[in-house]
Amino acid sequence: MTLAYVALGSNLGNPRQQLLDALDELARLPQTRLLQRSHLYRTPPWGVLQQPPFINAAAELDTALSPHALLDALLAIERRAGRVRAERNGPRTLDLDLLHVDGVQLHDARLTLPHPRMAERAFVLLPLHDIAPTLRLPGQGMVAELLPLLDQAGCERVA
């Protein structure tokens, strides 16, 4: 079993419920246990600014799935939630990003681990800090050290 970290985001439909449903699906993945989930955060859009705010979260999994099998499972959850990949950084019903898998550094056509841009994004590190503040991201630093370097304006915890 290996620890894996997933970022969750949504800004279409009922974003809060989309994330709660996705967390339930993560907990039911084969050979996988949901160990922790972060608080939910409302965050401003990133990239394409003319869209609704996002609800974001993070999850810690203990899994026997390979990184590519886990990625396939995440993509299947997105599809079941109605995700259509129309534009990069645009609005979405559900976005699940595999951020980090302990002991794995990978770069191929389908997947890069750790996620190459996560240290640049408060909407990723803020919820990740809830569940793994001491997580050291290879080549980037520790979550607790990286988060204060980011602009967190407009980010707020939601019930």
**Which residues have a catalytic role annotated?**
83, 92, 95, 97
**Sign of the CA dihedral with 92 first, then 102, 136, and 131 last:** positive
What residue type is assigned to position 143 of the chain?
A: V
What residue type is assigned to position 151 of the chain?
A: D
In three-state form (DSSP H/G/I as H, E/B as E, the rest C), the secondary structure along 110-125 is CCEECCCCHHHCHHHH
DSSP tag of 67? H
Q: Determine the Cα angle at 79 with ends 15 and 7, to 5°.
A: 55
Which residue stretches of the chain are H helix? 15-27, 67-80, 122-131, 143-146
